[in-house]
Amino acid sequence: MRIGFSVDDAVSRLKRHHWTFRRLHGIFTNRLTSEPVYELKMAFSLHAHYCAEHAAAWRERVGEMREPPLGLDTVPDASLEVFLDEILAAPDTAALVVGIYGHALPALQAALRNYAAETNRLVDHPSFRICRFALVEVGEMVEYGASALKGLVTDADRTRLSGWETLLDRLLVQAGGLDGSAPPTEPGATERLFSRKAAQFDGTPKRDGRFLDPFNMGVHAEAFLYDPSMPPEPKTLMMYYKRLREIDVPEMMASILAETKDKPWSYMVDMTRQLWDEARHAMMGEVGFVRAGIDWPRFVRVNWTWSLALNTQLSPLERHAVLYFIEQGLMPKTGKRFEWEVGVASGDPFAAMIQDYDWADEVLHARIGRDWYVKQIGDPAQAVAYGDQCWSKVSLQWAHYRDKGLTRHENWWPALYSEWCRGQGRDPDPAVLAYDKSYEGARADLHEISPSG
Ligand SMILES: [Fe+2]
Ligand SMILES: [Fe+2]
């Protein structure tokens, strides 16, 4: 019997929730490539996926509330927009973490809680329901953010950023709160600090100190993996390496999302789901190493040469073409099924399990590629040919990086394999230990030198 919101008031609040999810998705995808901290790169992938999904639910709900034209692509409030612009333009990791996890997400959580508490659950049950579901994941993001703030932001950072944090608070007050539920003060007042110059997407990947030799292309993982004379057990290490190296797929896909405009939101939802899957694939490799007792930063050289090359040498559509072309190559017998079979043959149930799901994810990614990339090109054969052509255009610059002194392409395999044998209490197999093949001379148009999948 309680009086809740009118349809107009509900729509006005829902549009601001939607805008915040949408802009947060943009902040996560804009920043993950150049964010060096590995855990944040992975978290941004997950949180972008959450925000894309919730923004989609809000779009659908607003569309049910007598609102054509929906106005979902227009800024709902100038001060809220500046608040989000400021966070997008945060100058470093600490400021970005403070902005996202210390301000934006807690404000969104409070707004969703208020909405769920105040709306009439009978007349507006569909909105109540999406808020309730979203709060599960917004709560998880806020909780993660509390740990990130503790681990990554010092007291000195907080002092340095205190003026900016006051500005963020003020912008939300000026906006009448994130959801506009309070009367706005100084409407239209939009003081800016970090966003005075519009934030630019930085497609050059960055990594933290655990990635000691990011130009290293010294161990040709696929040549070892596909060599039938090599035993399956050490091949699990190569697969863990291949999985962990997939960090560069989110780094690359984020650049497509950041630089592709004018796509429907369902494109963002699909592509961000795949982006998160690729981040999960990287973490599967990481967990595989931990489970195998390997201190991976010490023994494994995870490079960024693929995302660096694609982000700096190709247009967004060309990058998508390469991704599709590579993933096409993973589906026949030599690809994902083969890796799963190696996992099973190795007797390592973890390797078998992750490859099983990696293969399943790949089938979804092929569907996403068909729905968006192939449809855009118009013809399946032409789509593959164009991907092949774009991939051939990419230079991975093996010799250039060596000649510039950026890497020696050190063969890190024998030390990794020896360490693993030591932990397993087994004698190294001389043929496995002697493996020494780098990516030098690998033709850039061969899909097997790619990290993707
Ligand atoms: Fe993958
Ligand atoms: Fe994939």
Q: Which of 373, 381, 355, 372 is nearest to 453 (CA)?
A: 355
What average pLDDT score do residues 157-168 get?
98
Instruction: Dig out the tokens for 190 from the structure.
Output: 């939009």
- Phi, psi (deg, nearest 5) at residue 134: -65, -35
Q: Which of 113, 103, 160 is nearest to 135 (CA)?
A: 113
446, pLDDT greater than 50 = no
Give 411 Cα–ligand 2 centroid separation in angstroms: 27
Ligand that lies nearest to the alpha carbon of residue 339, given by its number in the listed order = 1
**Nearest-angstrom CA–CA distance, 257 and 52:** 12
Report the amino acid identity of residue 331: M
Q: How confident is the model at residue 188 (pLDDT cuts 50, 70, 90)?
A: low
Ligand that lies nearest to the alpha carbon of residue 280, given by its number in the listed order = 1
Give 28 Cα–ligand 1 centroid separation in angstroms: 19
Report the amino acid identity of residue 51: C
Give 452 Cα–ligand 1 centroid separation in angstroms: 6
Q: Which of 232, 245, 241 is nearest to 341 (CA)?
A: 232
* pLDDT of 447: 44
Positive or negative torsion for Cα 287, 293, 297, 302: negative
Query: Of the ranges 226-230, 240-244, 295-299, 440-444, which one carries the lowest mean pLDDT score?
Result: 440-444
**Nearest-angstrom CA–CA distance, 141 and 325:** 34
Give 5 Cα–ligand 2 centroid separation in angstroms: 44
* pLDDT of 332: 64
377, pLDDT greater than 60 = yes
Ligand that lies nearest to the alpha carbon of residue 329, given by its number in the listed order = 2
CB contact at 8 A, 14 and 62: yes
* pLDDT of 78: 94
What average pLDDT score do residues 9-23 get?
97
Give 250 Cα–ligand 1 centroid separation in angstroms: 9
451, pLDDT greater than 90 = no
Q: What angle do CA 252, 257, 261 make, to 5 degrees?
A: 140
378, pLDDT greater than 60 = yes
pLDDT tens across 413-432, in order?
Answer: 999 999 999 999 999 999 99
* pLDDT of 396: 84
Query: Which residues, other chains included, contact 349 with Cβ-Cβ below 8 Å and sequence gap of 6+?
Result: none
Instruction: Output the CA torsion 102→108→114→120 (10° steps).
Output: -170
CB contact at 8 A, 240 and 285: yes
pLDDT tens across 39-92, in order?
Answer: 999 999 999 999 999 999 999 999 999 877 888 999 999 999 999 999 999 999
- Phi, psi (deg, nearest 5) at residue 77: -160, 130
Ligand that lies nearest to the alpha carbon of residue 271, given by its number in the listed order = 2
Give 247 Cα–ligand 2 centroid separation in angstroms: 11
Give 372 Cα–ligand 1 centroid separation in angstroms: 18
* pLDDT of 285: 98
Q: Which of 391, 194, 185, 218 is nearest to 302 (CA)?
A: 218
Give 194 Cα–ligand 2 centroid separation in angstroms: 35
The pTM assigned to this predicted structure is 0.96
Report the amino acid identity of residue 60: E
The environment of the single-atom ion ligand 1, i.e. residues with CB closer than 5 A, is 246, 278, 281, 453
What average pLDDT score do residues 12-18 get?
97
Give 327 Cα–ligand 2 centroid separation in angstroms: 6
* pLDDT of 189: 67
pLDDT tens across 208-236, in order?
Answer: 999 999 999 999 999 999 999 999 999 99
More confident residue, 443 or 97: 97
What average pLDDT score do residues 181-199 get?
86
Give 247 Cα–ligand 1 centroid separation in angstroms: 9
Give 93 Cα–ligand 1 centroid separation in angstroms: 26
* pLDDT of 443: 57
pLDDT tens across 247-261, in order?
Answer: 999 999 999 999 998
pLDDT averaged over every residue in the chain: 94
Give 276 Cα–ligand 2 centroid separation in angstroms: 10
3-state SS string over the chain?
CCCCCCHHHHHHHHHHHHHHHHHHHHHHHHHCCCCCCHHHHHHHHHHHHHHHHHHHHHHHHHHCCCCCCCCCCCCCCHHHHHHHHHHHCCCCHHHHHHHHHHHHHHHHHHHHHHHHHHCCCCCCHHHHHHHHHHHHHHHHHHHHHHHHHHHHCCHHHHHHCHHHHHHHHHHHHHCCCCCCCCCCCCCCCCCCCHHHCCCCCCCCCCCCCCCCCCCCCCCCHHHHHCCCCCCHHHHHHHHHHHHHHHHHHHHHHHHHHHHCCCCCHHHHHHHHHHHHHHHHHHHHHHHHHHHCCCCHHHHCCCCCHHHHHHHHHCCHHHHHHHHHHHHHHHCCCCCHHHHHHHHHHHCCHHHHHHHHHHHHHHHHHHHHHHHHHHHHHCCHHHHHHHHHHHHHHCCCCHHHHHHCCCCCCCCCHHHHHHHHHHHHCCCCCHHHHCCCCCCCCCCCCCHHHCCCC
Ligand that lies nearest to the alpha carbon of residue 366, given by its number in the listed order = 2
